Structure 1
Amino acid sequence: MNKLLLSLSLFAATVAMAQAQTKITGVAKNAATGEEVYNLTVRLEGVAVSDAAITDRIGYFQFVDIPNGTYKLQVYGVGYDPYEKEITVADEKELDLGDIKLTFNPNTAEVGIITLTDDELSDDESTTASNSGILQSSRDVFARVSAYELGSYWFKPRGLDNKYNDIHFNGVRMNKMDNGRATFNNWGGLNDVTRRPEELTYGIEPSNYAFGDLGGVTNFDTRPSTMRKGTSLAYSSTNRSYRNRVMATYNTGMMDNGWAFMVSGSRRWADEGLIQGTFYDAYAYFVGIEKKINNNHTLNFTSFGAPTRRATGSPNTQEVVDMKGIYYNSFWGWQDGEKRNERIKKTFEPVNMLTHHWAINNKSKLTTTLSYQFGKESGSRLDWFAGNNPSPVYYRNLPSYIAYSGGTQSQVDAQRELWTSGQISQLDWGSLYRANAFHGERAVYWLTADVNEDRTATAYTNFQTELAPNIDVTIAASYQKTNSKLYREVQDLLGAGYVLNRDNFSGASFNVLDTDYVARKGDKQGYNYEINRDYADLYAQSKIKGKYLDVTIGMKTSMTKFYRDSKWMHGLYQDSSYGRSKTYDFINYGVKTNFLVKLDGRNFIQANVMYQTEAPTSDEIFPNARVNNVTVEGVESAKIFSSDLSYVLRAPRVKARATAFYTRTKDEIEKAFGYIDGANDQVFVSEVMTGVGKEYMGTELAIEAQILPVLTVSAVASIGQYLYKDNPNYNLYSDDFARFEGVPYKDFGTAYLNNYKVGNGPQSGFSLGLEYRDPKFWWVGVSGNFLANNYIDPAAFRRTVNFFTDANGDLLNVNEQDLKNVLKQEKLDDQFMLNVNLGKTFRIGKYSAGISGTVNNVLNNRNYVTGGFEQLRIGNYNNAMNSDYRTLFGSRMFYGMGTTYFANIYFRF
């Protein structure tokens, strides 16, 4: 009897379960033509089964045995805007979604553009108060235009440095500990992998993976099952940093045996780029192996890297540009009939990850990643001992120095002729070899490289759950341990036998523990130390969804520890250079909130507010780490407040956003290196400012209107004002201070920077674009871009009292108006740029192909200065009043390129 009852109970449960399982079907169609679209990927986010469906030849897809619940339907593929819609399953036997209308978008068909903006997710049919189209708004008009159009000309949204952008792979943060910036070279060329981030937040919007910084969070999910299945081949031609690129990707997708494999590789190269004397040689690889253990557990192994070797160009003064043009590069010279560049950047820091995805149920999931990154990056340059500076742009080689030194006009003209004719405008490698041969075994000149070997181990876990139909919770934690070995390495002795391990200026030994040491090729020289960092954080976020209001609150706490461990004892800093320094600890926190008011299904008001403290980087804690472990007084965590308020429209044919933003930072640290020719000191220095404050405020306006089914117009305006605030404290480190005064650095008081503009690219940008998308899958677009309010970054020493005092500290006889003119910040000219893009995609049976091209700066405007900085050299008022001296040590500037193009062809099957 009991067995019978048990059998009946099991049968009844099985029937009930079967009745609760639903089949979901739909058909993907082109919104403009009504034609069915095949080979698109369809996913249900929130269901324990992680398999994706692929639309067939008539655009049909289906999911079977889906339990009751609420899910996000995602449809995406090459050539179309991604589509997202929230669906609810409630006891139906079959849920027919009908036609899913997708918008043709050529930008998603282009292989080769690494975008840090999401693809647009919107439901044009929605008329309910849903926020799925706003918070997941991928191709936000402003974000897209600022990335594709204005971003081509070094425009930075909200004026923010890229150290404020958090980049994650499978939840693991990739930003470096020394400067806070992500090294994009580590995955350069892997466009098929990084094409579509799993999450991209703009500004301080909430993230499901991390608290984030001012510039938002980008997270890439590297599971092969989440990416396009099949084979992709592509070739690109361009005239920018590199000339050629080939890419190949193969992805099995999730196979019946529960395995998925993906491999991707690329090569980018140029014998010479647009800038003279530069080359580019880069490879990249990606391996993804995914094992679906069952419907709830998936393991994913990821390995990627991008060995890169490239030559760089020089920033130049206006005097040099006037003589040699915007493509001039002082870093190269002829050797044996070939161009040789002294400044070579090498990067290879492979990443290996193991990620476990646990779909606990259709409401909760846990993602855990273990990651290990190692390798090195280096940058070479010429060095010398008891020799003259070999650089062509060394100030004594310039015509303005002849004039400043009292030379006649004919002498100045003769020096300028040597420059314009090319006789002295490039490195003379032969003279360096001859100088070494004359001095015997000891090198006068050699090629050295500053090397950074990082080893970073990270553990990251992220738990997301739906506590109730209207409450989502995210809890994430991470721990990261980094060991960085930093040293200088001899790369080429230029015919000599060894290098002395001594300072060129002071003669001091770099390591008094071994004064007889000499460096040969491959040996360390100059400095040798390690930086060790431990970092841990805990992040929690809750989102409460209402009919008319959503509220998201996130909080973070973190712990950061740094210490320096030097292997050498510097002769000038014997008490503060060798061994392990004290450990510097920082406890930080942050809180952010997001309010989304849903006026209806198309109109939204959104507000974001954030406050956080942020630990300094290792470069900021140890500003002169190559020679000592001294930390300048006043090092503390930065304080950051940020807010924005937006009105957003998401109508079927019109998308628009109007935003006002305000950000204030306090107690940040800035540093620079250079030579100061002041009245009190004429020394090579490391400049360190503490208590730096900045203010970023402005508006962002964007609208995109589909005025015809095939014609779209977009307009974007960003009007900002980015200022220094708080008048920071100014310190200088110099070996001369240690040598003659017995102190590692000197406090020069206050730098009066308040209300100077932040020199970080154009503070205002405007773009107007028109795009035609033909139903037969070809397109052409044109955009006009205007960049305005760009300023040279000011040299802080000129804004201290020391600038207008004599060697005794007495005030100079200063003319007030002349002083204002000297200290006035240089404003760069506003510029207009015209861009054009066009292309076509093809269907060849079940295969697809495409060709596309972009031409930037069609009008070949070569007057655009993207940015620059005042040289530290002008360190006293009397010199600044000399026009020849101001020309000689004028601001160093970075010029934009003339007309550039990028052409791409791909084939997929």
Structure 2
Amino acid sequence: MNKLLLSISLFAATVAMAQTQTKVTGVAKNAATGEEVYNLTVRLGGVVVNDAAITDRIGYFQFVDVPDGVYKLQIYGVGYDPYEKEITIIGQAVLDLGDIKLTFNPNTAEVGIITLTDDELSDDESTTASNSGLLQSSRDVFARVSAYELGSYWFKPRGLDNKYNDVMFNGVRMNKMDNGRATFNNWGGLNDVTRRPDELTYGIEPSNYAFGDLGGVTNFDTRPSTMRKGVSLAYSSTNRSYRNRVMATYNTGLMNNGWAFMVSGSRRWAEEGIIEGTSYDAYAYYLGIEKKFNEHHTLNFTSFGAPTRRTTGSPNTQEVVDMKGIYYNSYWGWQDGEKRNERIKKTFEPVNMLTHHWNINNKSKLTTTLSYQFGKESGSRLDWFNANNPSPTYYGNMPSYYLFDRDNINGTPTAFQQANHDRVLGQWQNGEISQLNWGKLYRANSYSKDGHAVYWLTADVNEDRTATAYTNFQTELAPNIDFTLAASYQNTRSKLYREIQDLLGADYVWNTDDFNTLVDNGTSRYYRYNILDTRGDSERDKIRKGEKQEYYYEINRDYADLYSQTKVKSKLLDVTIGMKAAYTSFYRDGKFQNEMYKDSSYGKSKTYDFWDFGVKSNFLLKLDGRNFVQANVMYQTEAPTSDEIFPNARMNDVTVEGIESAKIFSSDLSYVLRAPRIKARATAFYTRTKDEIEKSFGYIDGTGDESRLFVSEVTTGVGKEYLGTELAIEAQVLPVLTISAVASIGQYVYKDNPSYNLYSDDYGVQGIPYKNFGVAYMKNYKVASGPQSGFSLSAEYRDPKFWWVGVSGNYLMNNYVDPAPYRRTLGFLTNSNGSVVDNVTEEGLREVLKQEKFSDEFMLNVNLGKTFRIGKYSAGISGTVNNVLNNKNYVTGGFEQMRIGNYSNAIDKNYQRMFGPKMFYGMGTTYFANVYFRF
């Protein structure tokens, strides 16, 4: 019997040891002062332990009953750099981590992960949107400084457009199908939700959620249990797009019954922003409901949205800036004593998600999300029928127009011409004709005898319905091998149409094309936009407020991908290999039958299918605990967007021949130093793209036959090269003083000469949907991606009493105008009979084809603030002033107008001034001040 009892005891002890539950403890301290830090969030980021702890008055935290395994210890909170460390638990009763030294950092006081300002959001008029805001939360020195300092001046790391950044919520990709970009307005103002992403990768580094693109992956985990518990209130004041912001958040945290609830809301508004005649009004909401059933299963429901209404500013030529300054906006005018802007952007596309987290065991987990997004975005503008363009900046309303003389190119203007120029210049300068005249537009409509609108306000509307299923499996195949398998399916049905918003006193709008006529039974009339309109003759083609006009169609897209990644770890070298396979299909379904394109405008188009693949690898050589060498290599193909497949989708479903997936190769090599007081990185990178497609709309004067065409311009076979270096160092020279220096030196150029195509109704009348103009000689022109080189030097003092002040100097170089491709085709030099124009000279040609370079500029920034502890509460105040020296010469970007379509016009200085590049200027001195209170 004694032997039996002994055997049972030994067996029970063995089982108990095999299932050890460990207590993990530690104390958080300020690295500079040694003082304990209160109210920080501590998390063991493993597959089972997900509850967070909060440091107490003496900085102490603990976790109990932690199973054996490998965990990522994470500590973060207001005013401190995030801390991460991998810990291993095997058979211990207590694991005491001792003192954990944390670095005080004011930049974590009250700034969300998405610092992309509303001024940088991509508009129809702007191609200068910055993507650097996605990098803010990274611990990488270069990524952080390029986001905070250089990024505020439209600097883009590695010159990449933000369509190359994958933004995800719970694994679901938010990038749009039409242009590949994420619409940040959909969660703008939800800083408490997007403050710290679950994952943020830079460049082509490996991701646990997706294959990723050139700009990296940002994924947000929206579970309330992963965010700060308690109440947070904040108010901000700024002089940028909006003037005021209020935010409020309440989070229960994970309660004893397994439930967690979080709500967050904000409002941002301005009666007028820094740009004349612009307004802003945006709300945002978030609801998170989480239920943790047990240690294995958690279910999370997420709903968020941000109804936004804002008006925009105009890009301007240098002639306009010289007359009215950098804040001038041509889109507004006075009406009944109030400023009214014609360009109104409205966005509301709410997202609803259900996510299941399944911790299968202490080595494997499965995350699955179902998502549905709906809503619409629209942009309004003035339209007209058989009338003059009402814009103040229309070339016929500009002073330079009165000096232009086709028969006397670059000649001395006559006294009559000069007098007219001076008269109009004076009217511009005194404001008489420099803004929209709403009263004149209403009067024009009142003179219409049959009640049709001469001028009206219309809106281009996009209604998306997107359903997504995403699943992600992560496991540890062996102690040194991690494996990830992810799959997703997404279906998008997008309705696109033009809608009448305001008839400006008229009764209806004609649904006919006033630029092109046809002969019908011996009578000349306009082409009809929809010959399926079956109403009687008295009502046919009459479109009233709220109805669709000119175009109406759907784009249907199916997308599916499979992604796998394997990471093998050793003491000296970590190797990560990732692969993807993807399928994309598009088709257009026309709802209007355009009379000019009877056979290609109505009904379902051909379906365009694309099979894509990608492979990427990461090599991390660990020389020791402080010195690392990292290499990344990626090759992938990428399907075109819907805008690229159907360049003139508003009118027809015709696409250019030979459309195919883009090919992308990218690589980088880095040396990384992570010493206690010095962090540094030196990187060389190279990216090459091929077979991309670019598109734009506008007028061209003279395409070989002196005609004026409104066109959709499409270049195929576009290839670019991005080559450069990134250097960054951060040194804590004193416990309270940190110096940072960053340099990015890049050269981003076109490497291929693409094929050039024009879509125009002038060709449609002839039965030709588009016309090919051969090769556009774009090779070696600079890519217009903002400053290609940027430098920043900053110093930051962090006082032990929790206040700070920082100053940075930023220098931005090598920013170029976006070149108009048509000027680089032979059509630019050719008459209607195919002969070369007579007055071409080599010197003149070099001059008109030279790419304009904007001036290099210096910017000075200052930031300061203080955090407070009031019992168990925390509060803080902070402020940032950008461009302290009020430099108003900085051009963030610009583009050549495609209007100049022949050499004769290009060499005329007055014509050049009328149709010179349109530019986007920086804002001068701006500020952002914030105060918050948390408990």
Structures share fold, TM-score greater than 0.5? yes
Counterpart amino acid of residue 504 in structure 1: D
SS of corresponding position for 1:821: helix
Task: Summarize deviations over 1:506-530 as a string: whole Å, max 9, x none.
Answer: 2311101116132111111110100
Unpaired runs of 5+ residues, structure 2, are 118-134, 406-412, 517-525, 535-539
Q: Which residues of 2 match residues 423-572 of structure 1 at below 5 A?
A: 423-440=432-449, 441-506=451-516, 507-514=526-533, 516-572=540-596
Alignment CA distance shift 1:677-1:92 (3 Å): same
Count how many residue pairs are aligned between Structure 1 and Structure 2.
889
Report if aligned partners of 2:374, 2:466 keep a CA contact under 8 Å in 1: yes
Distance, in Å, in 2 between the alignment partners of 1:157 and 1:824 is 26
Work out which of the residue numbers 803, 806, 825 in structure 2 matches 1:781: 806
State the match for 1:258 in structure 2.
258
Of 758, 778, 783, which residue of structure 2 is paired with 1:758? 783
Question: How many percent identity over aligned positions?
Answer: 80
Determine the C-alpha separation between the residues in 2 that align with 1:195 and 1:202. 17
1:660 aligns with 2:660: no
Task: Establish whether residue 651 from structure 1 lines up as the match of residue 675 from structure 2.
Answer: yes
Structure 1: how far apart are the matches of 2:721 and 2:227? 40
Aligned-partner Cα distance in 2 for 1:904–1:279? 21
The one-letter code of the counterpart of 1:514 is D
Secondary structure class of the residue paired with 1:636: coil
Partner residue, 1:418: 427
From 745, 756, 759, give the equivalent of 2:770: 745
Distance 1:190 1:708 in 2: 36
Q: Which moved more, 1:722-731 or 1:27-36?
A: 27-36
Tell me the residue number matched to 2:121.
none
Determine the structure 1 residue equivalent to 2:88.
88
Aligned residue in 2 for 1:709 = 735
Greater Cα shift, 788-797 or 105-114: 105-114
Quickly say closer, same or farther: Cα 1:137–1:847, change in 2 above 3 A: closer
CA distance, structure 2, for counterparts of residue 878 and residue 27 of structure 1? 76
CA deviations 1:299-331 (Å, max 9, x no partner) are 010000000000000000000000000000000
Q: Does the 8 Å contact 2:113/2:136 carry over to 1?
A: no
Shift of 1:101: 1.0
Partners in 2 of 1:563 and 1:66 — Cα distance?
Answer: 53
Q: Distance in 1 between matches of 2:826 and 2:187?
A: 46
Aligned pairs for 1:135-534 (under 5 A) are 138-405=138-405, 407-440=416-449, 441-506=451-516, 507-514=526-533, 516-534=540-558
Partner of 2:537: none
- How far apart in 2 are the matches of 1:55 and 1:695? 49
Structure 2 distance, partners of 1:627, 1:144, is 45
**Residues 839-881 of structure 1 deviation map (CA, whole Å, 9 limit, x = unaligned):** 0000000100000000000000000000000000101001111
The reply to whether residue 806 of structure 1 matches residue 831 of structure 2 is yes
SS in 1 for 2:426: helix
Structure 1 residues 84-118: Cα deviation after superposition (integer angstroms, max 9, x where no partner): 1111112111111101111111111124563489x
| Aligned 8 A contact 1:116 1:218 in 2 | no
Deviation for aligned residue 1:342: 0.1
Letter in 2 for 1:583: T
Deviations along 1:565-600, one digit per CA (max 9) or x if unpaired, are 011100110010000001000000000000000000
- Any idea what SS the aligned residue of 1:83 has? strand
Q: 2:655 aligns to what?
A: 631
CA contact (8 A) 1:537 1:559 kept: yes
CA apart distance, 1:59 = 1.1
Please tell me whether the aligned partners of residues 19 and 93 of structure 1 are also in contact (alpha carbons under 8 angstroms).
no
- Letter aligned with residue 806 of structure 1: N
Q: Secondary structure at the match of 1:610?
A: strand
Contact 2:114-2:136 within 8 A present in 1 as well:
no
The question of 1:39 aligning with 2:39 is answered yes
Bigger shift: residues 365-374 or 103-112: 103-112
Determine whether 1:687 maps to 2:697: no
- Report the alpha carbon displacement of residue 7 of structure 1 after superposing the two structures with TM: 12
Q: Could you tell me how far apart the structure 2 residues matched to 1:675 and 1:482 are?
A: 32
Alignment match of 1:852 (pick from 878, 899, 910)? 878
- In structure 2, what is the Cα distance between the partners aligned to 1:100 and 1:265? 34
Is the 8 Å Cα contact of residues 573 and 621 (structure 2) preserved in structure 1?
yes
- Structure 2 length-normalised TM: 0.94
Q: Distance in 2 between matches of 1:136 and 1:594?
A: 22
| SS of residue matched to 1:716 | strand
**Deviations 1:326-375 (CA, angstroms, capped at 9, x unpaired):** 00000000000000000000000000000001111121111000000000
Q: Which letter maps to 2:806?
A: G
User: Which letter does structure 1 place at the counterpart of 2:799?
Assistant: D
SS at match of 2:527: coil
Question: Counterpart of 1:182 in 2: which secondary structure?
Answer: coil
- Per-residue CA deviation, residues 602-621 of structure 1 (Å, 9 max, x unaligned), is 00000000000000000000
Structure 2: distance between partners of 1:7 and 1:353? 53
Partner of 1:125 in structure 2?
A: none
CA–CA separation in structure 2 for the residues paired with 1:504 and 1:12? 90
Is contact 2:476–2:482 with CA below 8 Å preserved after alignment? yes
Whole-Å separation in 1 of the counterparts to 2:783 and 2:664: 16
Q: 1:9 to 1:454 in 2, by over 3 A?
A: farther
Contact 1:781 1:838 survives alignment (8 Å)? yes
Is the 1:454–1:484 Cα contact (8 Å) retained in structure 2?
A: yes
Secondary structure (helix, strand or coil) at the match of 1:193 reads helix
Are 2:528 and 2:541, in contact at CA under 8 Å, matched by a contact in 1?
A: no
Q: Which runs of 5+ in 1 are unaligned?
A: 118-134
Please point out which of 868, 880, 900 is paired with 1:874: 900
- 1:886 alignment partner, SS class: helix
Which residue is equivalent to 1:123? none
Shift of 1:69: 1.8
Report the Cα offset of residue 285 of structure 1.
0.3
